């Protein structure tokens, strides 16, 4: 997905346009500091002044975002007047250190500042649960776990730490948070949602406040709108297509307003999110055929009339990865439709035999020349982008502030991650008061996810899809158990080792990492997987593996008590016979870098306080299942969660 097979800059007429000198604004003395360079001027004045000095080529450059792998020579940024770059999942410098990130971003920034007007570059990255691309950054629980905490203050703190670690390593823009309302757990992005109700999602939008505190970074509310409402298409299961991701919302407009649009009102009006990313998905309010569906990236009514009009959104709209290429018609048709619908900046990385960002620049230049896209629409888009850059302080401080770079992955930040992991745990079953465990007990630990930090971190960690072999600084759940237990700890992933007499059992099972598309139940295999050494992972099922079921059966039959932890990005189906064997059952979600936080609640160092952010089904046949359904018979309902009181550390 992030290959660096690039073409050199095109010459000819476009190059001549791009390199034409820019005349100063009339009436300004040659020696005077232009208003746009004066930090004492209001942002609106600075934007208007700069816009008046820009050529069409410079404006279109600001609307263009390339992937870092597209840039083989920083001079490309200068020549094309590029306004933005991004790192996609797994697109990192070598070595993957904070210093290397800062050096990379600064080298790109120097190229942007070398343009006649010196407009700084805006660099974006997917910091969806911490700055997960960066090895050494603090990795927090994914959103589904944070939704389980019901702790908006904690979520805001996580946003602040994420912003600090991201900005200290160079990027000033994060493609987070996802404010989708996940209504079908078969969707591979369920874990990116705080939960299945708009009220819960809205309460967790404090993450935006944390990210944008002090203009640390620009946040992005995504994916506008309805990515969590797409209908499951069983005909695509097993075909290599995505059964639910990037699909169609087949709902009434009233349902769409209630479930999809609702979280964006506070995101825009209360939290003042700086950018919005449209969804790959489509809407069909008529319940008709696929031909009736309207792609969100081309939906003028929702992007312009509703988002920018009714909601009063003053930031800018950034397209998703090559998303406009899913619109009908030729590439020129796609660009025209998206720009006129209200998309302001275009994420156009390498595509096919051409470099995407160059194709976009050429195409939009032609559309303005033909009158298909008005200069007013261009000016509106560029004004929004420039406003964000001024507000971020990039014109005064374009280079990376490394004063806090040593705080990336600090003990203090990991302590917050540990607390978040603990608060995210949801106790679903606790027969005979099995939990909390006595710290004096001998513990037998088994299961595929007991000692795998890649699995507990999930997707969007080091690589796009994540990986079972990905290793980040932190603690596994086994590490945490070994830290807190005063008894003997025996670990056997498959439960092959003998069980000590009177030992309590802890079996950690669940899913392996995935992200969009490949995480759909019944979706395609993910073959290109550098995180797992190129070994294809099987399609996702929401079912426990045979090995996990066998581990639970073995341990529960041989130990004094049996606690099962499910590490997953969504509910996993628990067979009734297996549930009967367990004394305690815990939804651990994807706890991130601090598995010790999970151990904290197992041993009572912290109390169980988490509540289900989504409904836990009895069987896959119940999907989609959500609180408020006319027929509602889940294994565990939305909001369920048993509580415990912690006991003495010395017990």
The angle formed by the CA atoms of residues 69, 73 and 74, to the nearest 5 degrees, is 95
**For the sheet containing 220-224, what is the strand order?**
220-224, 275-278, 316-317
Q: Which residue has the tokens 């261009």?
A: 378
DSSP result, 541-578: -SB--HHHHHHHHHHHHHSSSEEEEEE-SS--B--HHH
Q: Which residue has the tokens 């059964």?
A: 243
> How far apart (Å, rounded) are the C-alpha atoms in residues 612 and 349?
38
> How far apart (Å, rounded) are the C-alpha atoms in residues 646 and 644?
6
> How far apart (Å, rounded) are the C-alpha atoms in residues 578 and 571?
15
100 phi and psi angles, rounded to 5 deg: -65, -40
> How far apart (Å, rounded) are the C-alpha atoms in residues 131 and 121?
19
Catalytic residue among 216, 442, 516, 600: 516
The angle formed by the CA atoms of residues 361, 364 and 369, to the nearest 5 degrees, is 120
Angle between helices 411-424 and 152-168 (to 10 degrees): 140
Question: Catalytic residue at 516?
Answer: yes
* Size of the chain in residues: 651
- Contact of 143 with 194, CB cutoff 8 Å: yes
Catalytic residue among 58, 79, 184, 320: 320
CB burial readout 418-445, b (16+ within 10 A) else e: bbbbbbbbbbbbbeeebbbbebebbbbb
- Contact of 624 with 196, CB cutoff 8 Å: no
Joined tokens for residue 114: 């070398």
Q: Which residue has the tokens 């927090």?
A: 140
Q: Which residues contact 602 (CB under 8 A, 6 or more apart)?
A: 435, 436, 437, 480, 481, 484, 506, 563, 586
Q: What is the CA radius of gyration of the chain?
A: 25
How distant, in Å, are the alpha carbons of 140, 372, 403, 434, 617 from that of 639? 22, 51, 42, 22, 13
- In terms of phi and psi (left: phi > 0; alpha: psi -120 to 50; beta: otherwise), the region of 308 is alpha
In 3-state terms, what secondary structure has residue 367?
A: helix
Catalytic machinery residues: 320, 516
């Amino acid at each position: 997905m992030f290959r660096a097979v690039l073409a050199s800059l095109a010459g000819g007429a476009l190059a001549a346009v791009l390199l034409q000198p820019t005349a100063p604004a009339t009436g300004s003395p040659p020696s005077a500091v232009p208003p746009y360079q004066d930090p004492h001027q209001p942002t609106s004045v600075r934007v208007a002044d700069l816009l008046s000095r820009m050529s069409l080529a410079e404006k279109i450059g600001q609307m263009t975002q390339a992937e870092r792998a597209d840039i083989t020579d920083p001079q490309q940024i200068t020549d094309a007047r590029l306004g933005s770059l991004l790192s996609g999942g797994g697109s990192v410098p070598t070595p993957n250190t904070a210093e290397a990130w800062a050096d990379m971003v600064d080298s790109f920034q120097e190229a942007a500042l070398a343009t006649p007007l010196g407009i700084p570059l805006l660099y974006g990255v997917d910091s969806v649960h911490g700055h997960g691309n960066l090895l050494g950054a603090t990795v927090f629980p994914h959103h589904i776990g944070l939704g389980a905490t019901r702790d908006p203050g904690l979520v805001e703190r996580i946003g602040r730490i994420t912003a600090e670690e991201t900005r200290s390593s160079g990027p000033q823009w994060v493609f987070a948070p996802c404010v989708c309302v996940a209504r079908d757990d078969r969707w591979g992005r369920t874990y990116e949602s705080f939960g299945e109700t708009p009220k819960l999602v809205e309460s967790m939008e404090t993450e935006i406040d944390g990210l944008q505190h002090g203009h640390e970074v620009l946040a992005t509310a995504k994916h506008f709108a309805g990515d969590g409402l797409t209908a499951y298409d069983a005909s695509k299961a097993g075909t290599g297509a995505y059964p639910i991701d990037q699909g169609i919302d087949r709902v009434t407009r009233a349902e769409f307003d209630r479930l999809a649009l609702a979280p964006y009102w506070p995101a825009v009006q209360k939290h003042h999110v700086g950018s919005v990313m449209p969804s790959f998905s489509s809407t069909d309010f008529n319940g008709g055929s696929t031909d009736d569906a309207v792609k969100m990236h081309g939906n003028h009514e929702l992007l312009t009339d509703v988002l920018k009009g009714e909601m009063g959104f003053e930031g800018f709209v950034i397209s998703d990865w090559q998303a406009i290429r899913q619109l009908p018609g030729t590439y020129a048709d796609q660009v025209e439709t998206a720009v006129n619908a209200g998309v302001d900046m275009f994420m156009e990385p390498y595509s096919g035999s051409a470099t995407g960002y160059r194709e976009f620049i050429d195409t939009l230049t032609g559309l303005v020349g033909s009158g298909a896209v008005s200069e007013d629409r261009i000016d509106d888009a560029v004004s929004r982008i420039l406003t964000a850059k001024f507000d971020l302080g990039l014109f005064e401080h374009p280079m990376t502030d490394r004063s806090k770079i040593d705080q990336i992955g600090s003990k203090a930040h990991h302590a917050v991650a540990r607390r978040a992991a603990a608060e995210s745990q949801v106790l679903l079953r606790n027969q005979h008061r099995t939990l909390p465990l006595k710290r004096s007990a001998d513990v037998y630990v088994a299961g595929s996810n007991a000692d795998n930090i890649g699995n507990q971190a999930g997707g969007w960690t080091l690589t796009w899809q994540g990986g079972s072999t990905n290793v980040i600084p932190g603690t596994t759940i086994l590490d945490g158990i070994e830290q807190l237990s005063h008894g003997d700890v025996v670990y056997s992933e498959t439960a092959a080792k003998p069980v000590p007499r009177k030992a309590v059992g802890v079996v950690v099972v669940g899913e392996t990492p995935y992200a969009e598309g490949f995480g759909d139940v019944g979706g395609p295999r993910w073959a290109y997987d550098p995180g797992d050494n190129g070994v294809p992972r099987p399609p996702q099922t929401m079912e426990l593996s045979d090995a996990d079921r066998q581990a639970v059966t073995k341990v529960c039959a041989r130990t004094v008590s049996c606690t099962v932890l499910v590490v997953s990005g969504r509910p996993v189906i628990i067979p009734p016979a297996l549930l009967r064997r367990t004394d305690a059952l815990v939804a651990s979600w994807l706890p991130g870098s601090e598995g010790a936080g999970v151990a904290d609640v197992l041993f009572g160092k912290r109390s169980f306080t988490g509540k289900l952010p989504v409904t836990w089904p009895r069987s896959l046949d119940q999907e989609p299942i959500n609180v408020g359904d006319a027929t509602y018979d889940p294994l565990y309902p939305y909001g369920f969660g048993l509580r415990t009181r912690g006991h003495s550390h010395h017990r």
